[in-house]
């Protein structure tokens, strides 16, 4: 049994970890929504007050808060407790005094860190694994000391994280003068484009650890393209002309050439068979040496050669400044983040995600009616009203009664 402690005597996890931790209330078997006053369990009135009243009186492992990811993915019961940050309640893992921090890393995640650290050192750059930023707000998976004072933070991100959480984590690093390289394996990850990133294949740890095996960079590296501003071109409208909502097509094109940012795999460079593919090793070395730099434009992030970025800025104006959204981006009700540092993409492939279209400029696309807005119809062709619980299209299974989803009926205590 754990000793009873005041929360003042317990060292919580870093802010970055706290913002991505889910927490389960074991007696109810449900995850809490810490952004709500009733914690998402209205049938237990005063639950927050009850949990807070246990502080200093009830041992942490008897308060009923556990980590659902450690339970589901690792078969471990890890107690959690509540921590307040700027008026917001978050959940931290508990460990006995003297215990090592809980490992949130899979073998694939460890392999990526080891591989990048070794490759960096082989090219003359010092690399430290698991290095904290000076303010203690973030922990870098790999800290690489580059040329001319550049500090590169390599962050393999295989777990499911919301875009807002990714922006907050990136904000911790940017305020510490870290150039982050977020490495995603999932092509549908919400973090794509919201932080300086690359995308690499989802490979097993045994393949990653062999240094002679190249790891291809498939996305996140950009180039500049010169395109003509015309109705038959790739640009939807001239970026130098103000938009007039009363006459949207008026003077939409100037028939001149513009420099635009384009993902390399979608550019004309992708058809150059004489050019070798960009590997993660070469990318890291170039970024540490300053030959490749992160950029932010129109709210999107990526990397590109420094000489091309200078040319783009000369033609299109100064670099976009970051805003205060880094500090206030995360709202707990919007989080889909996990406490695990990573999670194989195969485990979350069937979960709903917002697909990211990797482009900086607005390109012409044909209009397609989303499937989600097509009305559901029964066997006679009559429309089925939406579910009265969640508002989404109802299934035919329950159309004869009040239209509602099977999962919604279970949530409301209805018979299945």
What would the pLDDT profile of 77-99 be if each residue is shown by its tens digit? 999 999 888 778 889 988 777 66
* Percent over 90 (pLDDT), the chain: 34
pLDDT tens for 265-299 read 888 777 777 778 899 999 999 999 999 999 988 78
Which residue(s) pair with 224 in the sheet? 261
User: Cα(163)–Cα(330) distance, rounded to whole angstroms?
Assistant: 9
Centre a 10 Å sphere on the Cβ of residue 41 and count the other Cβ atoms it contains.
Answer: 17
User: Cα(53)–Cα(78) distance, rounded to whole angstroms?
Assistant: 21
User: Cα(132)–Cα(147) distance, rounded to whole angstroms?
Assistant: 20
Q: Tell me, what's the pLDDT at 81?
A: 92
Mean pLDDT computed over every residue of the chain: 76
> Which has more pLDDT, 232 or 219?
219
pLDDT beyond 60 at 410: no
User: Cα(217)–Cα(219) distance, rounded to whole angstroms?
Assistant: 6
Q: In the structure, what pLDDT confidence band is assigned to residue 392 with cuts at 50, 70 and 90? A: low
pLDDT tens for 172-200 read 899 899 999 999 999 988 889 999 999 99
Task: Give strand ranges (E) for 162-283.
Answer: 179-184, 197-199, 222-228, 257-263
> Which has more pLDDT, 193 or 376?
193
Q: Tell me, what's the pLDDT at 342?
A: 46
């Amino acid at each position: 049994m754990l000793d009873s402690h005041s929360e003042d005597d317990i060292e919580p996890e870093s802010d970055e970890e706290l913002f991505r931790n889910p927490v389960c209330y074991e007696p109810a078997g449900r995850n809490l929504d810490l952004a709500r006053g009733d914690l998402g369990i209205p049938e237990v009135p005063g639950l927050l007050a009850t949990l807070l009243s246990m502080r200093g009186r009830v041992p942490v492992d008897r308060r009923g808060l556990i980590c659902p990811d450690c339970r589901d993915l690792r078969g471990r019961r890890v107690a959690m407790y509540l921590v307040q940050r700027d008026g917001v309640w978050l959940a931290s893992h508990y460990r006995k005094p003297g215990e090592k921090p809980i490992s949130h890393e899979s073998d694939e995640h460890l392999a990526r860190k080891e591989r990048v650290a070794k490759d960096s050192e082989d090219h003359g750059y010092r690399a430290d694994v698991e290095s904290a930023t000076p303010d203690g707000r973030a922990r870098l998976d790999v800290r690489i000391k580059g040329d001319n004072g550049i500090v590169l933070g390599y962050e393999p991100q295989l777990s499911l994280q919301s875009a807002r959480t990714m922006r907050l984590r990136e904000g911790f690093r940017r305020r510490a003068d870290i150039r982050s390289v977020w490495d995603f394996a999932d092509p549908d990850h919400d973090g794509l484009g919201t932080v300086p990133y690359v995308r690499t294949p989802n490979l097993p740890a045994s393949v990653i650890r062999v240094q002679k095996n190249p790891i291809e960079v498939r996305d996140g590296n950009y180039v500049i393209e010169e395109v003509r501003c015309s109705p038959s071109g790739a640009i939807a409208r001239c970026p130098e002309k103000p938009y007039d909502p009363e006459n949207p097509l008026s003077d939409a094109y100037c028939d001149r050439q513009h420099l635009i940012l384009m993902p390399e795999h979608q550019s004309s460079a992708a058809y150059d068979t004489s050019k070798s593919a960009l590997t993660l090793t070469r990318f890291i070395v170039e970024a540490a040496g300053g030959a490749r730099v992160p950029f932010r434009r129109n709210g999107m992030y990526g990397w590109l050669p420094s000489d091309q970025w200078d040319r783009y800025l000369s033609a299109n104006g100064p670099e976009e400044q970051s805003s205060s959204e880094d500090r206030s981006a995360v709202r707990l009700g919007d989080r889909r983040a996990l406490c695990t540092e990573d999670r194989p993409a195969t485990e979350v492939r069937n979960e709903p995600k917002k697909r990211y279209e990797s482009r900086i400029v607005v390109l012409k696309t044909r209009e397609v009616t989303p499937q989600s807005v097509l009305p559901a119809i029964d066997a006679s062709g009559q429309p089925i009203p939406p579910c009265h619980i969640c508002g989404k299209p109802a299934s035919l299974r329950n159309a004869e009664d009040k239209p509602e989803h099977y999962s919604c009926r279970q949530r409301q205590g209805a018979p299945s």
